[in-house]
Amino acid sequence: MRKFNRPLPGDIRTADPVFAERIKVCIAETIPATMRKTVETGRLDAFKLNWKEGDKNKPHIFWDSDTAKVLEGMAYCLALNPDPELEKNYDEWVELICSAQQEDGYLNTYFTRIESEKRWAYLSWGHELYCAGHLIEAAVAGYECLGKRKLLDCICRYADYIDSVFGLEEGKRRGWPGHEEIELALIKLYRVTGNKRYLKLASYFVNDRGTEPNVFKTEIGEANWDGGQNLQAHRPVREQDSAVGHAVRAVYLYAGMADVADEENDVALLEVCECLFEDIRQHKMYITGGIGSGFAGEKFTIPYDLTNSSLMYAESCATIGLAQFAIRMFNITGNNKYLDVAELALYNGALSGISTRGDTYFYTNYLEVDDNLVTYNSGAKVRQPWFACSCCPTSFARFIPQLGTFLWSAGDNEIAMNIPAACHADLKLKDGRRVSCQVEGDYPYDGKIRITMETAGNYRLLLRIPSWCKQYTVTMNGKTTDSVIQRNWDIGDVVELNLEMPVSVIRSNTKITGNNGRIALKRGPVVYALEQIDQQVPVRETLIDIDGGFRLFRDLPGLPEGTVGITGKAVHEYFQDSNALYTDEPPTREDVPFKAIPYALWQNRGDGNMAIWLRAK
Amino acid sequence: MRKFNRPLPGDIRTADPVFAERIKVCIAETIPATMRKTVETGRLDAFKLNWKEGDKNKPHIFWDSDTAKVLEGMAYCLALNPDPELEKNYDEWVELICSAQQEDGYLNTYFTRIESEKRWAYLSWGHELYCAGHLIEAAVAGYECLGKRKLLDCICRYADYIDSVFGLEEGKRRGWPGHEEIELALIKLYRVTGNKRYLKLASYFVNDRGTEPNVFKTEIGEANWDGGQNLQAHRPVREQDSAVGHAVRAVYLYAGMADVADEENDVALLEVCECLFEDIRQHKMYITGGIGSGFAGEKFTIPYDLTNSSLMYAESCATIGLAQFAIRMFNITGNNKYLDVAELALYNGALSGISTRGDTYFYTNYLEVDDNLVTYNSGAKVRQPWFACSCCPTSFARFIPQLGTFLWSAGDNEIAMNIPAACHADLKLKDGRRVSCQVEGDYPYDGKIRITMETAGNYRLLLRIPSWCKQYTVTMNGKTTDSVIQRNWDIGDVVELNLEMPVSVIRSNTKITGNNGRIALKRGPVVYALEQIDQQVPVRETLIDIDGGFRLFRDLPGLPEGTVGITGKAVHEYFQDSNALYTDEPPTREDVPFKAIPYALWQNRGDGNMAIWLRAK
């Protein structure tokens, strides 16, 4: 069904000011740091299955997922940047993980060593199938990117075993993953192995979910049953029309549903995915692409409930998950609206979750931070190197090296430039032909893009025109043309895309009550924020002069080279009596300049207040 | 030490458009309704001490306080409005309560019937001394207002017993109330009995609190100890300089501290009270007088953390407690700043907690409600008839009939008009002489007040000029004079006070970040709000034209007669594409009128959105 294939991480070599820099830092810092933490905290050693009462580092139900995610990231980084030392570590990790596999194929440290009698007994909250999913993704990554079979073979045995346990057939039991993930992982496994068993199992997990009698309700018991919305199991997935519950779980499920719909040519299921995506895009997404605004339960709340601080969440993993869901929907349908969301999430709400040094992370991605606002996620105003529940750091370890895979897609005799960031792309068409090209430019900080084709032949080049772009030009060897170019390409043909990228003043739906009277600055796909360190007066007292003209500047020491800031006129509004709690004194106003930086880069030059949604003069 | 005595509820007969109406409704509705609930829920029958496993209505640790509070309210209402049927009920309740007293004087249904072995074992969270405090207040009310001794005698025995248990003397144990209340109650008991033992016990509870070794820490255990801030026991009260922890507990303690300081001429302790009051007034109080902004823990958070919805609290009981603390501080010091806060809390954050019908209540007093804002206190957008933890309804039962006692104070040869609401005041000077007068006018909706003196003689009349008032005049029998009038009064002398009362546009400290760019309308002591039912366009899309002029109006069907609204010009700001979540479309603006009502009266004509802090055009 799908229109496009997604390239492998190694197929795209980024050379832009954002992704290339992040990938470089990931290889140099994030992978070593998360590997170290995985070892130090006992997550890797858990696979030795020798933990005993009294030992430190008691294995936890979700630990295997962290190890698997870091391993997956190691594979991608090795594909991008061969490194014998890292490869040696990789092989040792795989060795150890495989050694924990049980006779019957089962592979889970917690439910082997700690609560072996509870295997498959806590489906709703045990993270057992979730951990399996991440092990599958890691195994597929190692095979696809490095050609290594050891973990893949091991994990196929595990998947075969899981398939022997779950399903509607006689001799099997019904069961669903409490935290979805295995659905999309099984599709990956199906794609590399061609074994339809995995597709069928993924399809079972998707299609049985939420049907009666409800597996989770039976497990949790009538008395404690909350309706199942948190686990997206309140009704069959085909009857779901609103994004609900734990946001990471939700978008992982939706991504898996999209994959199953794709592989099974299931148009009805794809329509459900589209409906859920639209509910997120139209009602439940921050301007940054952040989702899951409810701190309590890390979840989707009601439409338009998108507060900027205190109670908000927008977990890094959820935003990354949204990008992964969106890119799948684009590759299946070819509809650019999915890329608009993927791009927004990537440049803003996802990358905000990791420091420019690549070694600290946000769980919660606040849109506003102020000394006088309580944040209910304590300590969350400053990125942390690790968490007890450390899904976000390990998500970045595997997500950052995948950034290139969002840039291009390859279809049936056509290639699509999704995000025009500078890179070298080596793409495999559906017929197996490879097409490569070089993209140059300064995107996302500049809209001028130059593409030099390196493969001759007849194929189509699709250039996405982002929805934020109102005016653009395309030239082919200097002559104006369209954003879809089909021709007999010569090596060295040059296509130039020029996306006009003025500073936009964004307002939000009046139903997001806290944003009323406020504006945000956005340029291209990049959302800007005022960080206190750059201002002469408090962020909270700064009113942007939206008619005063904006200028771009590049002098931002401490931020990645090439970062473009926005400066302009503002008004400092304050009270003469700054101590009064309430006053009938009219405020005083004085002109000041302001400086805005890309939101994703805040809190990299010390701690301080920050806001995206600003008052306008 | 104290400058003024507070009158008894029966001494002040209100005749104004707010308090008189509320008291009338309280007598007719609130008292019967809360009595009914007290009976229906088993709270009264708990005193039969015959509950057994399997019965419904298992007594709860704080139930006695609810019964006592309703009983206290019954006494005040009987003083204001004799009613044989109610008095019969009153006597029966007292009979039943007294019958539950144990041989040694102990009187607590839960720790007699349910966990008798745990007497005094859960001081931190057991509410045992808190319940005792409310029983004492009820007993004092019955004696002072109705001359009934039965409960007073019973409760003196209980207080004597408590005194025999707690203290620093040999044979006693150290112990503090987890929920403060008994301190101020013991002072009341001391004042009506003259028995210094009660003063000493109150003083002990105040002065030992927070000293080492910490009683609560010992009880709760090192492992679960949170530092004691929630219970205001983190350090000795004399070393406290910031209002912290559970807000109701805090202001009850501070009121008790003020009472002890007063009776013991303890200037240093009074200074602590002043410091704590100032911390609240300057940093932690809503424009409504609401306090305790943190939903989690019903508590004070950090300075300026005063959000208007979702996470906020401002419990009705806390605001009432602040008014009770403030009126004590005024009566002790004579400093009008305390009256400014008391008045603000009374007319706004306290009265907002009860419906105009007097039968439903808010626990949380939101400053903004919108369909699109999640409220973490579920169901709290609509007043409820009762709660599992039903402190707020029973607080109103005893608070509303006390409203008159805030209006006047009587000192040594002087009487002070604190709040110029229409009433008949019959005041007892410190030397025992009685002075009476009649106040006429439409306050708080009009600033013209006429006082007719009914008692001849030489004494001083003090007229408070509220801090919100910038211009005023006072005349004595038609001749201009000062706000302090000392003279030989003749019966029939007329003093006229004219407080100018324009509509004020209030802004808040920029550190309350969510209020930046917003204004509130206030007139005299009354804070106004926009309720959806009165508007032509959504509240959230209404921008007030603060330079467009304001008009007053009285046509507000469904609200108490005489209620004054504010109308004026506004702008409806909206987007042509009302579905877009984010847009670069500039908003459309159209002129509309707006109507504002007193905040305390919202949600009396159906449910709907409401906001105090509004955007200005």
Chain segment B289-323, per-residue pLDDT in tens: 999 998 888 999 999 999 998 888 999 999 999 99
- What residues form DSSP beta bridges with A571? A543, A591
Distance from CA of B389 to the nearest CA of A (A): 22
* B510/A574 CB distance under 8 A: yes
Q: Is the pLDDT of residue B124 over 90?
A: yes
Q: Which of B183, B298, B414, B496 is catalytic?
A: B298
| Res B378 pLDDT > 70 | no
Q: How many angstroms away from the CA of A59 is the closest CA of chain B?
A: 24
* CB of B281 closer than 8 Å to CB of B312: no
3 state SS of A613: coil
Mutate to test the interface with A, among B287, B581, B588, B613 (most CBs of A within 10 A): B581
Say whether B391 is catalytic: yes
What token pair was written down for B589?
């603006």
Residue of A307, A311, A541 with shortest CB distance to B510: A541
Say how many residues make up chain B. Answer: 617
Q: How do residues A452-466 score in pLDDT, each as one tens digit?
A: 999 999 999 999 999
Q: How many percent of chain A have pLDDT more than 90?
A: 96
Provide the 3-class DSSP secondary structure of residue B404. helix
Please check the confidence at residue B515 and state whether its pLDDT lies above 90.
yes
pLDDT at residue A309 above 70? yes
How far apart CA B110 and CA B118 sit, in angstroms, is 10
Nearest CB among A282, A310, A615 relative to B311 is that of: A310
Asked if B440 is an active-site residue, the reply is no
Instruction: Please give the radius of gyration of chain B, using alpha carbons only, rounded to the nearest integer.
Output: 24
Task: Write out residues 374-393 of A within 8 Å (CB-CB) of B.
Answer: 374, 376
Q: So what's the pLDDT on residue B534?
A: 97
Residues in A touching B281 (Cβ below 8 Å): 581
**In chain A, what residues touch B579 (CB-CB under 8 Å)?**
282, 509
- Please count the CA atoms within 13 angstroms of the CA of B428 that sit on its side-chain side: 10
Residue A209, pLDDT score: 98
Give pLDDT tens digits for B236-269.
Answer: 999 999 999 999 999 999 999 999 999 999 999 9
Residue from B382, B394, B389 nearest B135 by CA: B394
Cβ–Cβ contact A588 with B under 8 A: no
Mutant choice from A284, A368, A509 vs B, greatest count of B C-beta within 10 A: A509
Which DSSP symbol is given to A377? Answer: S
- Give the pLDDT confidence of B45-83 residue by residue, as tens digits: 999 999 999 999 999 999 999 999 999 999 999 999 999
Nearest CA in chain A to B285: A581
- If you average pLDDT over every residue of chain A, what do you get? 97
Q: Which of A137, A298, A440, A541 is catalytic?
A: A298
pLDDT at A562 over 90: yes
Mean pLDDT calculated for residue range A241-249: 98
SS (H, E, C) A185-245: HHHHHHHHHCCHHHHHHHHHHHHHCCCCCCHHHHHHCHHHCCCCHHHCCCCCHHHCCCCCE
Q: Any chain B CB within 8 A of the CB of A508?
A: yes
On whether any CB of chain A is under 8 Å from the CB of B589, the answer is: no
Q: What are phi and psi of B319, to 5 degrees?
A: -65, -40
Catalytic-role residue among B26, B391, B423, B437: B391
When pLDDT is averaged across residues A434-460 and rounded to a whole number, the result is: 98
Share of chain B above pLDDT 70, in %: 100
Here the tokens at position A542 are 């700064």
pLDDT at site B388: 86
Show Cβ contacts of residue A416 under 8 Å, excluding neighbours closer than 6 positions: A4, A334, A408, A409, A410, A461, A462, A464
**Cβ proximity of A318 and A347 under 8 Å:** no
Instruction: Please report the pLDDT score of residue A378 as a whole number.
Output: 62
User: Contacts of residue A615 in chain B, CB cutoff 8 Å?
Assistant: 516-517
SS3 B382: coil
pLDDT at A230 over 80: yes
Kindly list the residues from chain A whose CB atom is less than 8 angstroms away from the CB atom of residue B302. Answer: 372, 374
Biggest CA pair distance of chain A:
78
**pLDDT at residue A494 tops 80:** yes
Residues of chain A positioned with their CB less than 8 A from the CB of B540:
510-511, 513, 516
Q: Which residues contact B106 (CB under 8 A, 6 or more apart)?
A: B112, B119, B158, B161
Average pLDDT value for residue range B13-18:
98
In this prediction, residue A363 carries a pLDDT of: 93
Q: What is the pLDDT of residues A197-211, one digit of tens each?
A: 999 999 999 999 999
Cβ-based contacts of B287 with chain A (< 8 Å) = 582
Tell me how far apart the terminal alpha carbons of chain A are, to the nearest angstrom.
Answer: 51
Range in A301-315, A335-349, A546-560, A565-579 with the lowest mean pLDDT: A301-315
User: Which among A509, A520, A540 has CB closest to B510?
Assistant: A540
pLDDT at residue A558 is higher than 90: yes
Omega of the bond leading into B213 within 30 degrees of 0 (cis):
yes
The tens digit of pLDDT for each residue in B591-609 reads 999 999 999 999 999 989 9
Task: Please state the rounded mean pLDDT for residues A550-570.
Answer: 97
> Does pLDDT of A377 surpass 90?
no
Smallest CA–CA distance, residue A301 to chain B, in Å, is 7
pLDDT value of residue B297: 87
Residue B374 has pLDDT above 90, yes or no: no
Residue A379 has what pLDDT?
61
The per-residue pLDDT for B295 is 86
Facing B541 at nearest CB: one of A310, A510, A573: A510
Chain A's closest residue to B615, CA to CA, is: A517
Q: Which residue of A has its CA nearest to B577?
A: A509
Q: Using the beta-carbon criterion (under 8 Å), do B582 and A509 form an inter-chain contact? A: yes
Residue-wise pLDDT for A264-286, tens only, equals 999 999 999 999 999 999 999 99
Separation of alpha carbons A528 and A614, rounded Å: 10
Report CA Rg, chain A.
Answer: 24
Q: Which of B340, B371, B373, B579 to mutate to test the interface with A (most CBs of A within 10 A)?
A: B373
Contact A575 B507 (CB under 8 A): yes
